[in-house]
A and B are shown apart, each in its own frame.
Chain A
Amino acid sequence: MAVLIGPLSFCQLVYLSILTTTLFSLTEASVINPPQKLTMNSQNFEHILSWEPGSNTTMPTYYDVMYIGLSGSENKWKIAKECSNTARLFCNLTKEYEECTYTYIAMVQSITGNRVLNSSILEFSPYRSTYLGPPAVNLTACPTCINVTVKLPATYLKESSLIDIYQKLDYTITVESFDRKEKIPIKNETSEESFSYVVGSLHSNTNYCVSVAVAASLNHHSIPSALKCIITRSNTQPGYGIIPILNGGLVSLVVGIFLLGLYKGGFICLKSKPWPKVLETTNKLHCSVHEPDPENVCSVQIMYKEMEKKEWEYSYDDSENESESENSGDYTRRVILGRDPSSHAKSNTFVHQTIDCTSAESSSQATELLSSDTENSEEHQSVIRENEGISRVFFHPSSEVNSSSTFELSNSACFNINLNTVMLGDPDKTWDDSATLISHQKDAVDLQDSSASDALESKNFTNTVDVKKPDCHNISHEWQNPSVSDESDASDSEYIRR
């Protein structure tokens, strides 16, 4: 009995093993699934069908894509030529779906070894289901608006554009501010491939981002364009930048021409023109007025004043000055004093001196007059004025006199005499008589130049007067010998007469 059980179990084992192997092979075959998840990605009438394999098998699997148009008259499946017996998991059906208004059905057939499996079908109507876009967008900014230029994308259909297919498309422009606080959708329709739209009523100097989407009346599938941002500001065209530059140039040119006209007209002086020569001398003269004139032309007026008839002698000798001064009479000294050349120029004092010859004091005073006292604090200077030919000299003893030089007419004491103006005579008489005397006495008078300047004096002496070098002694000498003859008035004339 045990022997029968053994061989029987062995047979069962073999049977079981065969059964399991066949079962395994069967299950392996049934695992194979048809392609699944058929998906159509269509954009602008480019249709790409993709799918997933039914099962992961080690055996190679090939696919066929079959399609049929429902609106057509054909009833048989067509196989896509580019996707025949392909190992890829996608297929481009753009050329197969020629009629855009048709509804097509697609099916993927998998071939694994000997097994052919059909996938489920996928209905697709390109006219209603293809994705339209994205369009090409260009932005132009203006102060408060944005000009949006849109160009429709091209289709993959032969010689057909989106407008050819749909005749009219609806587009939506979405304008949003950069911070995404405002969103402005603008809807409109177009019948052209390229169109533009001006988005107005925007804030200036603000960053806005624009996106455009295109759709058809029966096809609401669209792909919007990428956001493009722009800032609303004044137009940056070079033409607008040139205008202010031109204006500035024009204004500066006009101003330049105006200034040039002024310059030519003499209203604007750039250079300082030299003074005319005449005016130059005027300047010099003006200066010279204030300068000390070294050349002194003194007009002398000699006035005779008879106090007493006295002889008075004086000598110009140094030694005798004092003595004679004491002996000086009352005569009014008729001494012509010149301006002291060594004296300071600032004081042109009019020396009014009267000599009283009666007293010694007066004589001393007289001596003082004639002295050129350099020690004097004050100057005696006689202002010799020319007064229509009459010159008068009045002198006063102003200070102490250096007796040694009483009658010494040094250089400072030398003076010039305009003979034309010298008149001698009785002051009581008319000066006309004295004038005649002068004319006679012209030759007799020996005048002396001041040592300071020679040129000026030479001009003043029109008469034949010897211009001698300063020799005061000579002059004094001439005055030295007064001819005292009479006590009458005629004595004076005699005195003068030599």
Chain B
Amino acid sequence: MATKSQGCLWQMCLVLLFSAGVMSLDCNLLHRQQSKFNWYSLQLLENMGGKFPLECLGDKTAFHFPEKVLKPKFRQHAMMAVHEILQQLFGIFSRNLTQTGWKRRNVERFLNGLALQTKCLETCLPTKAGANILRLKKYFQRIQDFLKEKKYSTCAWETVRKEGQSCFQYIDKLTVRMKKQATNILL
């Protein structure tokens, strides 16, 4: 584990990189910008906590991310899916996390990164909503319900944190689809 000073420096650099990424708002290069944001956000999320506590293995639950969302037909659908995931994660992790024992600074950096990434995506986002957004909303509702059920225990939060890391992997797959292709039909 990095020392506190190194962790602070590391997160500061990530925030700066976030701001640098905001400068380029070309929608054709959005996928590259989002890829970088994904990486930064994932690092910040991993830095929020430590190792997964073994005692929480009993509370572990599968949330079943909708796989269909990962194969959008159009670039705009991928963008909208990513936007939805980012917004939902922001909503989840902006709750009271004092019970988790996570450092507040790390949580704030993570949330700031999420907000920036969402904002950049919104500039190139189409107005109309896609069909797969409903599935994503249901997915995140399940997560919210889990947290409530577990009474926002540490183990629940750690579980949700791990799920969030998986979400960024899904976002990464969707970000690839966001690249402007010659034909809009994506495999």
Q: What's the Cα separation between A217 and B178 when bound, in Å?
A: 14
In A140-170, the 8 Å CB interface with B consists of 166-168
Q: What's the Cα separation between A102 and B63 when bound, in Å?
A: 13
A71 touches B166 (CB 8 A): yes
CB-CB under 8 A from A103, the residues of chain B are 162, 165-166
Smallest CB-CB separation from A120: which chain B residue?
Answer: B51
Smallest CB-CB separation from B32: which chain A residue?
Answer: A189
Smallest CB-CB separation from A105: which chain B residue?
Answer: B52
Among the listed stretches A8-16, A123-131, A455-463, which one makes contact with chain B, having 4 or more residues with CB under 8 Å of it? A123-131
In B57-103, the 8 Å CB interface with A consists of 57-58, 60-62
CB-CB under 8 A from A68, the residues of chain B are 57
In A64-90, the 8 Å CB interface with B consists of 68, 70-73, 75
B57 touches A218 (CB 8 A): no
B169 touches A127 (CB 8 A): yes
Q: What's the Cα separation between A167 and B172 when bound, in Å?
A: 10
Q: What's the Cα separation between A73 and B60 when bound, in Å?
A: 7
Min Cβ gap A97→B in Å is 15
CB-CB under 8 A from B168, the residues of chain A are 218
0/1 interface trace, chain A 449-489, chain B, CB 8 Å (1 if under): 00000000000000000000000000000000000000000
> Which of A71, A166, A218 is the one whose CB lies under 8 Å from B163?
A71
Smallest CB-CB separation from A101: which chain B residue?
Answer: B169
Query: When A123-B52, A128-B169, A167-B176 are in contact, do A71 and B62 touch as well, CB less than 8 Å?
Result: yes
A75 touches B57 (CB 8 A): yes
A437 part of interface (Cβ distance < 8 Å): no
Q: What's the Cα separation between A217 and B82 when bound, in Å?
A: 15
B180 part of interface (Cβ distance < 8 Å): no
CB-CB under 8 A from B60, the residues of chain A are 70, 73, 75
A121 part of interface (Cβ distance < 8 Å): yes
Smallest CB-CB separation from B171: which chain A residue?
Answer: A218
In B130-187, the 8 Å CB interface with A consists of 159, 162-163, 165-166, 168-169, 172-173, 175-177, 179
B166 touches A101 (CB 8 A): yes
Q: What's the Cα separation between A105 and B60 when bound, in Å?
A: 13
Count of chain A to chain B residue pairs whose CB atoms are closer than 8 Å in the complex: 51
> Which of B39, B54, B57, B162 is the one whose CB lies under 8 Å from A71?
B162
Query: When A101-B166, A125-B165, A218-B168 are in contact, do A72 and B38 touch as well, CB less than 8 Å?
Result: no
> Which of B54, B61, B162, B169 is the one whose CB lies under 8 Å from A218?
B169
Q: How large is the interface on B (under 10, 10 to 19, 20 to 34, 35 or more residues)?
A: 20 to 34
CB-CB under 8 A from A105, the residues of chain B are 52
Q: What's the Cα separation between A268 and B39 when bound, in Å?
A: 86
Q: How large is the interface on A (under 10, 10 to 19, 20 to 34, 35 or more residues)?
A: 20 to 34
CB-CB under 8 A from B62, the residues of chain A are 71-73
Min Cβ gap A181→B in Å is 30
Q: What's the Cα separation between A128 and B177 when bound, in Å?
A: 19
Q: What's the Cα separation between A44 and B42 when bound, in Å?
A: 21
B106 part of interface (Cβ distance < 8 Å): no
CB-CB under 8 A from B38, the residues of chain A are 217-218
CB-CB under 8 A from A168, the residues of chain B are 176, 179
Q: What's the Cα separation between A165 and B169 when bound, in Å?
A: 11
CB-CB under 8 A from A101, the residues of chain B are 166, 169
0/1 interface trace, chain A 101-118, chain B, CB 8 Å (1 if under): 111010000000000000
B35 part of interface (Cβ distance < 8 Å): yes
In B33-60, the 8 Å CB interface with A consists of 35, 38-39, 42, 51-52, 54, 57-58, 60
Q: What's the Cα separation between A121 and B53 when bound, in Å?
A: 9
A73 touches B61 (CB 8 A): yes
> Which of A70, A71, A75, A217 is the one whose CB lies under 8 Å from B58?
A75
Q: What's the Cα separation between A125 and B62 when bound, in Å?
A: 16
Min Cβ gap B60→A in Å is 5
Instruction: Kindly name the residue among A72, A121, A127, A218 whose own CB sees the greatest number of chain B CB atoms within 10 A.
Output: A218
Min Cβ gap A161→B in Å is 14
Can you list 27 A-B contacts with CB-CB less than 8 angstroms, sorted by A residue number?
A68-B57, A70-B52, A70-B60, A70-B159, A71-B162, A71-B166, A72-B62, A73-B61, A75-B60, A101-B169, A103-B162, A103-B166, A121-B51, A121-B52, A121-B54, A123-B51, A128-B42, A166-B176, A167-B176, A167-B177, A168-B176, A168-B179, A217-B35, A217-B38, A218-B39, A218-B42, A218-B168
Closest A-B pairs by Cβ, 4 of them: A73-B62, A217-B35, A167-B176, A168-B176
List 14 additional contacts besides A125-B165, A217-B35; criterion CB under 8 Å: A70-B162, A71-B163, A101-B169, A123-B51, A128-B42, A166-B176, A167-B173, A168-B179, A217-B38, A217-B172, A217-B176, A218-B42, A218-B168, A220-B39
